[in-house]
Structure 1
């Protein structure tokens, strides 16, 4: 791998356990400087030039002039378990909706808007930014819904007073396509092949010997081995034609909502 990298390359990667099949292997490549962070923190670093490449929210290539590499990412087909809407019974019948979200939610917030408008036919929600801890203790009397993503969503499949809806499942009900939550984004196409080769190398290590990823995921999340294995079985890392089609459909829906 080091023969292909002429100089050290700074690569960003989502800090959740769903990205460990990439980040664990990337960290072992001598010529890669790996920086892990939530997706909302990685995109500004690409825009400022602090990072040239990052596996981060796919929304970045919709909102900004960033390239999305098409071979690798994190996609979900039918369900994902880590992007949860917790809704009260009045969510689908009330006029104005008040939703608590974290600052880490990027593509999932826009996905929620799309599902509200085109699947559930509810008004677009008014969002209130909260910490993850505040969401976990929020009252159904104060909020019509709560949006939580990542490892904490995996830890909290249910919240008192709310019903849980998997947004990847909602997307499938709307489109019958996978949803691409994360992609490799860059402001340049220079060294594209080299960077993709680094991701391919890391993913190959996971695919041939997943034990290290499972062990790290258990330590990081405190979830059971069974939960970890189920979760990884839902994540798609090699993007296929239907994943790309799903991402293009997301772009279309985003454009429709942005026009209003």
Structure 2
């Protein structure tokens, strides 16, 4: 029997979706979002978490699970622009190569502010601020970089700082919320329309998500160990996410599509 491949980014924020996934004829293939986007189109994986911008740009080819998302209403903590000086004065920004969605969101938010910096794809972290005015980081790298700037973990997340000396941290999801008052959808489960996933797998993913959210402390502890972070920070980070693609999330995805001159006309999985 052929083993079904499921694409997932090895990021803490997706762990509640598959941490408790049963092994039953499928395997996980890991990659950054830009890699997984390519793999689902090529058929290397049958079903994958893909970045929302990629999905919107390939809706003719891709189907969508109707009740799954990786979305946030407000701060996300892991899609961060680390920069020096004012946003209005940014001239050169180093971009993550891991996800097109975060890049397009950054360009949109700055463009609407009349800011048009030079963008360059670069690998690295805060050391790039010696060369650039800002650096966009996402996922585990972003939250680990942010955590490395903290001298202590505050009692409440409302006290988490956004300025560290001359370095300011701008959370792109929060800028989106201030603009729209809607969630921002970073990722969805997508598959090629010609090859929908088996219903048993979709049901197993739903069971895994229920377990992941019911036992979020266990997931957070495991991810904290993997990342070398404070478990309370990771737990707050994970409980902040929306994993069900509910109506507010669909409206947020539609608003993102419209802002980019795209449409949101999904073909939903029937099961």
1:186 aligns with 2:191: yes
Q: CA–CA distance in 2 between the matches of 1:34 and 1:98?
A: 37
Shift of 1:73: 1.4
Indicate the larger mover: 9-18 or 205-214.
205-214
1:153 aligns with 2:142: yes
Which residue of 2 is the match for residue 207 of structure 1? 213
Match of 2:240 among 225, 231, 234: 234
SS of 1:139's partner is helix
Q: How many residues align?
A: 243
Match of 2:120 among 120, 128, 137: 128
Indicate the larger mover: 67-76 or 11-20.
67-76
Match of 2:99 among 86, 96, 105: 105
Shift of 1:215: 2.4
Q: After superposition, what is the alpha-carbon deviation per residue over 1:13-36, rounded to whole angstroms, capped at 9, x for unaligned? A: 11101111112123x322221112
1:52 aligns with 2:52: no
Shift of 1:155: 1.6
Gaps of 5+ in 2: 150-163, 263-271
Alignment of 1:51-90 (within 5 A): 51-64=45-58, 65-90=61-86
CA contact (8 A) 1:60 1:66 kept: no
CA contact (8 A) 2:96 2:136 kept: yes
Shift of 1:194: 3.8
CA contact (8 A) 1:145 1:162 kept: no
CA contact (8 A) 2:82 2:136 kept: yes
Shift of 1:92: 0.8
Shift of 1:163: 1.0
Q: CA–CA distance in 2 between the matches of 1:253 and 1:183?
A: 19
Q: After superposition, what is the alpha-carbon deviation per residue over 1:178-221, rounded to whole angstroms, capped at 9, x for unaligned? A: 00001001112623644431220110111232343122211211
SS of 2:128's partner is coil
Q: TM-score, normalised by structure 1?
A: 0.86
Gaps of 5+ in 1: 1-5
Which residue of 1 is the match for residue 172 of structure 2? 167
Indicate the larger mover: 64-73 or 219-228.
64-73
Indicate the larger mover: 203-212 or 224-233.
203-212
1:223 aligns with 2:238: no
1:25 aligns with 2:20: yes
SS of 1:190's partner is coil
